Amino acid sequence: MKLRISLTILTGLMIITSACNKMTDAGLPKNQLTDEVTFAADATAIAAITSTYATISNMNIPPDPFKSIGLRAGLSADELTMFTGYPPSRSGYDDLLKYYQNAVTPANATPWQQTYSFIFNANVAINSLNMATRLTPRVKEQLLGEMKFTRAFMYFYLVNLYGDVPLTLTADYTANQQVGRTPKAQVYQQIIQDLLEAEAVLSDGYVDGTLLATTTERVRPNKWAATALLARAYLYTGDYINAETQANSVIANSTLYSLPALNNAFLKNSTETIWSVQPVGTLTLANAAEGRVFTLPAANGPNPDNPVYLSTQQMAAFKPGDLRGTVGNWVGSVTVAGTTFYYPTKYKIGSVSAATAEYSMMLRLAEQYLIRAEARIMNGKIAEGLADLNALRSRARAASTVDLPNPLPALSTTLSSTEALTAVLEERQAELFTEWGHRWLDLKRTGTVDAVMTVVTPLKVISSSTPNNWNSSYALYPIPQSELDRSPLLNGQQNPGY
């Protein structure tokens, strides 16, 4: 059964998307998530939670296709370039430009507002589900697991984009207004707790719209999605033993997961998919939004609707013989007026009317290999960690030619731990580019952001008269001024440098 979200459901149950647009905006609307009717029956409860995924999918479609956290983080890092050869005439263009130039201001609030909107609604849902007495027990468990997973996913991005953030676990908006910044370590503790609780109740396989039958659609989080995100959380907190254990659990589940051919990885429901989000549109909006945002038209290349393309730094990150960086695989190109622009083509379908063939990838197996590789190396298992990297390199290796007889060779197991960790970061840059801000977060968590961005940020100038220099404070985005003004405990707690 395909989980296609109907407009009738989304219109009739404006539950998740309309509850609150900011962390502390307004009181909970009546007759919505806390309404007993909503959680008195399986069908309405499922529809309420399902609309969460519709909202995630909807973030990159008209009228504003520039809302993606990954797009902003990719621009902040060294993997994307923003074309500035025309006056900004597109809604959202100026906002993107701030992220690209590492010149974000407290007026640029999108990631904060988006993530706290999801968190608030997850809190409301968890509270309502805990009070629900008429749902099928298995349905109730699955929905609780999905919402705890969602809350953890959103908090992961908040702490990595902003540092210490308010940890709100209640549906009481007045109480939320009184929460100040919570230490990042404590937020991570909650992320891990949510994921462990989600892992314990989510389905082993993938369930359909009833949550009681299995399906081939990988569009609802399951146990393995929680495990995969848990592996990432452990890696980011330096718990390498648990990071290796969790990633190994996912990789070992070969019944569900494997590494398909490179150009099949991002097809809907591929064996690499751990969790994806299904498009909610039709015709030109029937496929993954990333394809529409990144694909450059052959006629004119970068334009106000498609203003970003791969940076020279990202293209240089691909080693000779790496299919991930060759045109026709995960990279495309257009040449306009003698200039060639390269763009991501992990998603092949752009702004054309086509049957749905690609879903937006949220979590995939290759990242688990990278997590396990890094954790193993940190645990002293260098050869095993390098074997994980070589598994990805093997998939990406081009055929031998006379000019390149040894394309993308396997990494030597004699590398030192320092060399092996460098290889991990290089492999992450080649494998995960333009996906959910991985590169930006990697630069920060590994302490290399200053060294890289001191060189890259000055290259992002719009005019020679406007210097554009890196400041270490820019590694964290500023808290939106609107939130500082609204919450007395946040007032005066802006990130340094803003």
Distances (CA, A) of 392 to 368, 409, 448: 11, 11, 23
Q: Tell me the mean pLDDT per 10 residues along the chain, length 498.
A: 37 36 37 63 94 80 66 96 71 84 90 92 93 96 98 98 95 82 97 98 97 97 98 98 98 98 98 95 91 92 90 98 98 96 96 95 98 98 98 98 97 96 98 97 98 96 75 96 89 91
The burial class, CB within 10 Å (0-12 / 13-18 / 19+), for 464 is exposed
Alpha-carbon distance of 188 to 357, in angstroms, equals 35
Dihedral over alpha carbons 59, 114, 202, 167 (to 10 degrees) = 170
Confidence (pLDDT) at 362: 96
Write the DSSP assignment of 203-272 as a string of letters. -SS-B-TTSSSB-S---S--HHHHHHHHHHHHHHTT-HHHHHHHHHHHHH-TTT-----GGGTTSTT-TT
Alpha-carbon distance of 24 to 480, in angstroms, equals 13
| Tokens of residue 483, six digits | 């939130």
CB 272, CB 365: distance < 8 Å: yes
Alpha-carbon distance of 367 to 160, in angstroms, equals 17
Residue 183 carries which side chain, given as an amino acid letter?
P
Write the DSSP assignment of 290-347 as a string of letters. HHHHHPPPTTTSSBTTB-EEE-HHHHHTSPTTBGGGSBTTTEEEEEETTEEEEEE-SS
Alpha-carbon distance of 183 to 68, in angstroms, equals 26
Confidence (pLDDT) at 36: 67
Confidence (pLDDT) at 179: 86
Alpha-carbon distance of 460 to 476, in angstroms, equals 18
Residue with tokens 């460098």, as numbered in its chain: 422
Confidence (pLDDT) at 247: 98
Is the preceding omega at residue 279 within 30 degrees of 0, hence cis? no
Classify 274 as helix, strand or coil.
Answer: strand
Classify 363 as helix, strand or coil.
Answer: strand
Pairing of the two strands 308-310 and 339-344: unpaired
**HSE-up (13 A, CA, CB side) for residue 189:** 7
Alpha-carbon distance of 473 to 111, in angstroms, equals 18
Neighbours of 27 (CB within 10 A): 9
- Is residue 73 within a helix (H) or strand (E), and if so which, with residue range? helix 69-76
User: pLDDT digits over 400-434, tens only?
Assistant: 999 999 999 999 999 999 999 999 999 999 999 99
List the one residue out of 263, 227, 260 whose CA is nearest residue 242: 227
Alpha-carbon distance of 207 to 217, in angstroms, equals 8
Rounded to the nearest 10 degrees, the angle between the axes of helix 110-131 and helix 69-76 is: 140
Confidence (pLDDT) at 68: 86
Domain ranges in the chain are 7-282+360-486
CATH architecture for segment(s) 7-282+360-486: Alpha Horseshoe (1.25)
- Within 333-448, residue ranges assigned H as helices are 365-378, 382-396, 417-431, 438-445
Classify 189 as helix, strand or coil.
Answer: helix
Radius of gyration of the chain (CA): 22
Q: Specify the pTM.
A: 0.93
CB 418, CB 307: distance < 8 Å: no
For 157-182, b/e burial (b = at least 16 CB within 10 A) is bbbbbbbbbbbbbebebeebbebebb
- Residues listed for the chain: 498
Distances (CA, A) of 481 to 405, 433, 477, 486, 495: 56, 31, 12, 9, 11
Number of continuous H segments (helices) and E segments (strands) in the chain: 18, 6
Alpha-carbon distance of 124 to 119, in angstroms, equals 9
